[in-house]
Amino acid sequence: MANEQNLRPSEYKLSREEAKRGGIASGKARREKATLKKALQAVLDETFTDRNGKEATGADILIASMFKIASNSKDRNAVNAFRAILDLTGEAKAIDDPAAEELSKLDELLAKVHDDAIQR
């Protein structure tokens, strides 16, 4: 049971008022992010019509824009757009990373060292 002998108020880094303000600010930030996410989803789901009468969703337009940027070698954002496309399609993991092979070898060596240590 809590009493004067086992309470340690000096262990708290923030005062109760500071913690309360932090919690309120955190809740506000989460609500703002949720609102932004809903608004973005609404734009991506909406259908737009271009000058020629062709319809496309916001997601289709965004992907086309990212592809246009990624395919332009003179655009300094081409690499970022290309990486974003790879991330969205799940292909980013398929690209061979030169360090991945070395890391897997290191993992094998560490596993052998661990096994040897347990056997001794």
Could you tell me if residue 113 is inside a domain? yes
Average pLDDT for 92-111: 68
**Into how many domains does the chain fold?**
2
What integer pLDDT is reported at residue 88 of this predicted model?
Answer: 76
Q: 14-31, pLDDT tens digit by residue? A: 778 888 999 999 999 999
Domain residues for the domain of 19 are 13-45
* Shared domain check, 88 and 56: yes
What integer pLDDT is reported at residue 42 of this predicted model?
Answer: 92
Query: What pTM was computed for the model?
Result: 0.51
Identify the CA nearest to 97 among candidates 88, 89, 86: 86
* Shared domain check, 115 and 61: yes
Could you tell me if residue 3 is inside a domain? no
* Shared domain check, 64 and 22: no
**What token pair was written down for 32?**
């703002």
The rounded distance, in Å, linking the Cα atoms of 63 and 70 is 10
Could you tell me if residue 5 is inside a domain? no
The rounded distance, in Å, linking the Cα atoms of 37 and 11 is 38
How would residue 33 be classed by pLDDT, with cut points 50, 70 and 90? very high
Could you tell me if residue 32 is inside a domain? yes
Could you tell me if residue 83 is inside a domain? yes
